[in-house]
Structure formats: C-alpha cells, structure tokens
Amino acid sequence: GQNIDQPTEMTATEGAIVQINCTYQTSGFNGLFWYQQHAGEAPTFLSYNVLDGLEEKGRFSSFLSRSKGYSYLLLKELQMKDSASYLCAVKDSNYQLIWGAGTKLIIKP
C-alpha cells in the first residue's frame, strides 16, 4: 500500500530552527508537496520538490531524496505564527496526491 509518515507533533522555541521529516512509500513518484495548515483553516501551499536537493524560499526550505523516499521541511528563525500543522503529500504514478496525517508544530516563547 501507499504510505506517508510524519511525526505527529513537534515542539520548538521561538527563534530556533526545526526540521520536519517525511518518509514515503508510493507507487511511483511525480513530486512532493508541503502545505501549512493553521488550526481551523485551509491548507496553504509552501513548497514543491520533484528533483533531489534543497529548495529554499525565505525562512522555509524543503529537501528531497528520491532514492531514500525522504523529504524534510526546514523552518528557520521560528515565529509564533509558524505554530500550525505541516502536511506532506506525494503525487503518485497516477498523479494522485497521497497525504500524510500532518505534523503539529508547537512554538514556545
């Protein structure tokens, strides 16, 4: 079966750096997405990786290793507003998105 694994919850301190991991086993691979979802709100797009390596976008970076079935989202200079769930999703060989359950990130002052 297809599977996306992410930690359920992580805690970090304001101003620090946190890395949220995502491992996947899917039938084929056509890209990996990270979305942010604040409590009670809609998911919003953060990043997309289709080739191996690091994509940087301001305070957020996303890394992909297709051979390892692994990605991480790196958040730098954490702010209180970064408290949210972070969803990892992989597009399989049929171009269907398979979603992880999300990682709830709690930022403490």
Partner 1 sequence: NAGVTQTPKFRVLKTGQSMTLLCAQDMNHEYMYWYRQDPGMGLRLIHYSVGEGTTAKGEVPDGYNVSRLKKQNFLLGLESAAPSQTSVYFCASSLQGSGANVLTFGAGSRLTVL
User: Under the rule (CB under 8 A), what is the footprint of partner 1?
Assistant: 4, 8, 30-31, 33, 35, 40-45, 48, 50, 87, 89, 95-102
* Cα-based torsion angle of the residue sequence 68, 52, 50, 57 in order, rounded to the nearest 10 degrees: 120
Least distance (Å) between residue 44 CB and partner 1: 7
Least distance (Å) between residue 13 CB and partner 1: 26
Contact 62, 54 (CB under 8 A): yes
Nearer to partner 1 by Cβ, of 4 and 78: the residue is 4
Paired tokens of 86? 């972070």
Contact 30, 74 (CB under 8 A): no
Nearer to partner 1 by Cβ, of 70 and 99: the residue is 99
